[in-house]
Structure 1
C-alpha cells in the first residue's frame, strides 16, 4: 500500500513537472516578457527607481537591454530605451500601444476622463484630437496668429530692455513662461492672462509647476492600487485643490464670454479656441459641457506653456555653459538677420545652426523624459509577448543619450545636426521629445515656431552674461524630475547691449 501511494505521488509530481515544462516550452514558443531585475517580495524593484527614474532606468537598461521588465509593487512595467525598440512600439505596433497609463494623481476630479492627454483612445478621444488638429493647430490658424506671436515676443524684449538698463538679472524660465502663457491665452481666450510685471505670472507658473510636480511624484497608489481609496500620500487631494484653483480662473473667463454673447445678439464670434469648444457639437447635437471643457483647457495651458518655456530655458543654459556655441549662434543671427532687425518666424528656415541648437537641446533635455503608455491588446515585440493592460514607459531621455546612436552622447554638440536629416517631428525615433504615432503632441507645430522664435530673439537682441561673475563651468546643470524635466536651479542671466 505504501509503495502504491509513493508511486502515485511520484507519477503526480512527474506529471506536474511535465505540465510545467510544456507550459514553459509553449510560453517560450509564444514569447515571454523581456528580461529585468529580479524583484523583491511585495516591493518588486521600486527601490531601484530613485529620485530621477529616467536616469535610473537608463542605467538598468545597460544591464537588461533596451526592452526591459520591471515589477513595481503589484504592477508590471515594460521600459523602452532605444530607438530600435521605440520604432517597434510606436510605428509597427502603435495601435496596440495607444492606451494611456493613468497615474492616480490625474484621477483627481475625474480629470483623466475628459483630458485629451490622459484619456484612452476612444471615439471621443479621436474626435477631440480631430478638433485640435483642424481648429487649433492647423497651418492656417497658426499662420494667422503669427503677428500676435511677433508682438508678444517684442513685448518680452522691451521688458528685458528695462532689466538691462536697471542691470537686473532675468529669470529666463519665468520670462519665457509669461510670454508663452499670454500667447496661449490669446489663442484660446483672445486676452492676456497675466501681466509680465505682476506677481500673477509667477503665481500661475507656481500653480502649473505644483500640478506637474505632484503628477510626477512617486505615488504608492500607482504600484499598489488597493491603496487608492485612502490616498496615503495625499497626492490626489493636493492635485484636486490645485485643479480647483485653475478651474476657477477658466470658469471666470468662460462666464465672461457666455455673458457677453447672451447680452448682445450681434456680438461677433472671436473665432478663438474657446468659441470652438463652446460651439462644438457632434453629429447628434451633443455639446461639450463645462466638465469636458475645463480639463481640455488645462491640457492646453500646461502642455503649451511649461514645455516650451522649459525647452528655451534649457537651450539658454546650454549656450551660457558652452560660450563657443553661443558665439556661433549670435554670429549666424547677425549675418542672416542683421543687427537691429526683428527676428521673424519666416527667418527660422535660414538659421540652420539655431535649428541644430534646438534639436540638441531637446535630445539632451526632452521636456517629458518618460512617456507613459498602456497596451490595449496582447502584442509581440522583438520576440517578447506583452499582455494587454501592461504599463509601457518610453524613456525618451535614455533614447536621446544612447551611445550606440550618438557620439559623445552627454555633450552639447549642435554641430552633429548640421549635416543630419534627423528631426523631432515623430518620424526619426532617435529623437522623439514630442512622441510619435497616434499620441504625438498635437501642439508640435506651434511649439516648433515658439521655441525657435523666442530663442532667436533672446540671442539676437542681447549679449547674455552670467550673474555675480559666475563662470560657465560653475553653472548648476542638474535637473529636477517631474512630468517635465526642469533645471534644478532656475536660470538667471544678465542682458547686455548687443553690438
Structure 2
C-alpha cells in the first residue's frame, strides 16, 4: 500500500511475502531511517542507533560495541548471574507483597531497568522498594518520547517550518530526552568515565528505552493472556512444575528447556508485538521494487508487522491466543521467518534480541514458578481488559494488576 504522509511517499508492507522481498532483496537500500523532526531534540537523532543511517561511522561504532562487546554471546554468558539475581530481586519484591494487588508492569519495568544497568555497568538505577515511584517516572519519560514520535507534526509535513517548531514537539521531546540523559549521565559518571562519553550516552540511553520496555511489555502481555486463559495458565504451570519439581529458584537454562513456556512467549509476541509497526525505513537508492510496486528513492517504508502476524492467510485463528501453534515448528523470531518478525529483520533488526531471548522466558518462568497469580477480587478472566495502547511500545491500555500467592 502506498500513502502520502509527508513531502515524499510512504509504502506500507503488511504481508509475509512483501516483507521477505524487502528484507532479502533490498535490505541495504532500505537500511536508512526516516527521521521525524521531534527526535532531533538535543541532538538525539545525530547520535542514535535507531535513527542514524547504517552507513554512518558513528552507527557502525555503536553497533560494533553492542554486538562484539555488550551483547556478544561471551559477554551475555559472563553476566548471566547478574541477570538471574535481578530476576530474583523482582520475585522477592512480589513475595513481600504476596496476597495484595500489585501493578505487575510497573514493578517489572523497574527491575528491568536495574537488570540492564547492573548487567552491563554494575550499577542499580532504582530501588524497587522505594516509595518515590521513580520507576514510573522513567517510564513516563520513555512513553512521552513515543507519544511525540508518533503524533502528526506539521514540521514533518512542511519541512520549511521546522525551525519554528510551531507545535512545540521538539521542545517537549527535549524535556523527555534531558530527563533520561540525566539518569544516563549518572550511570556513566560512576562506571564509564574512561570511554567516549557521547558514544556511551547514546548506547545506555537506547538500552534503557528498548531493553527495559521490550522485556517488560512482552512479559506483561504474556501474563495478561495467561490470566485471561486459565487452561493455558494451568498447562504452562504444569510444565514448569513437572520439569523443575521442588527447585526453589530457576535459571536461564531451565527456562529455555520448557517448550510450552517458549510457545507462550512467542504467541504473546505474535498477538501483541512490542512494536506492531517497526521504526520506518528510508529508501536510499532507486531500484527498489516490492510486490511489483516501484519504491522511489527517498520514500519511507513502513513494516506493519502487527498486520503480518495476524494475517489469516498465514495464521489459523489469528486473533486468538493459541500457544500450541508454536509447538513442533521451527518458526522463530530471529528474522528469517517473515510471517513472524517481532524484532524486525536485516541489518536494522533490534540489537537487543540476544538479551530479550534470555531474559523474557527466564522472567516469565520465575514469576509462574514462585507464585500462583490471581485476578483482583470480583474480576473474572472474561472481564480482564486486554485492549492495546501504543506509546513507545504496544502496551496494555489498562495496566495489569494481579495478586501473587506464594506457592508452598
TM over 0.5: yes
Structure label with greater radius of gyration = 1
Mapped partners of 1:253, 1:126: distance in 2: 23
Which among 175, 179, 189 is matched to residue 255 of structure 1? 189
Partner of 1:236: 170
Aligned counterparts of 1:143 and 1:477: Cα–Cα separation in 2: 35
Q: Distance in 2 between matches of 1:295 and 1:212?
A: 17
Residue among 284, 287, 290 paired with 1:376? 284
Select between 210-219 and 132-141 the one with higher mean Cα deviation: 210-219
Q: State how far apart, in whole Å, the 1-side matches of 2:327 and 2:135 are.
A: 37
Which of 134, 137, 150 pairs up with 2:71?
Answer: 137
Q: TM-score, normalised by structure 2?
A: 0.95
d(CA) in 1 for partners of 2:348, 2:219: 23
- Alignment correspondent of 1:20: none
Contact kept, 8 Å, 2:32 with 2:51, in 1: the verdict is: no
Give secondary structure in 1 for the equivalent of 2:386: coil
Show the counterpart of 1:111: 44
How far apart are the structure 2 equivalents of 1:115 and 1:428?
27
Supply the distance in 2 between the matched residues of 1:142 and 1:413 (Cα, whole angstroms): 31
Aligned to 1:147: 81
Residue by residue, what CA displacement relative to the aligned partner does 1:49-88 show, whole Å, maximum 9, x if unpaired? xxxxxxxxxxxxxxxxxxx101124331100001110011
Partner of 2:31: 98
> What is the CA deviation profile of residues 162-204 of structure 1, one whole-angstrom value per residue up to 9, with x for unaligned ones?
110xx32121111111111001111332111000011222222
**Alignment root-mean-square deviation, CA:** 1.5
Q: Is the contact made by 2:8 and 2:298 (CA closer than 8 Å) also made in structure 1? A: no
- Residue among 138, 141, 148 paired with 1:204: 138
Write out per-residue CA displacement over residues 250-284 of structure 1, whole angstroms, 9 at most, x where no aligned residue. Answer: 22333344xxxxxxxxxxxxxxxx47xx43xxxxx
TM-score under structure 1 normalisation? 0.78
Flag structure 1 segments of 5+ consecutive residues without an equivalent: 1-67, 258-273, 280-287
- Structure 1 position 488 matched with structure 2 position 397: yes
- More deviation in 426-435 or 222-231? 222-231
Unaligned stretches of 5+ residues in structure 2: none
User: 1:134-213 alignment to 2 at 5 Å?
Assistant: 134-164=68-98, 167-198=99-130, 199=132, 200-213=134-147
Deviation at 1:360, TM superposition (A): 0.4
User: Is the Cα contact below 8 Å between 1:217 and 1:482 reproduced in 2?
Assistant: no
* Alignment partner, residue 55 of structure 1: none
Query: What residue number does 1:428 align with?
Result: 337
Output aligned runs, 1:42-441, within 5 Å: 68-124=1-57, 125-164=59-98, 167-198=99-130, 199=132, 200-257=134-191, 274=192, 278-279=194-195, 288=196, 290-371=197-278, 372-378=280-286, 379-441=288-350
**Which of the residues 332, 342, 351 maps onto 1:442?**
351
TM superposition shift of 1:123: 4.1
Across the two proteins, how many residue pairs are aligned to each other?
A: 403
Q: What does the per-residue CA deviation read over 1:110-138, in whole Å, with 9 as the maximum and x for residues that have no partner?
A: 21111111111124122321111001111
Equivalent-residue separation in structure 2 for 1:142 and 1:435 (angstroms):
21
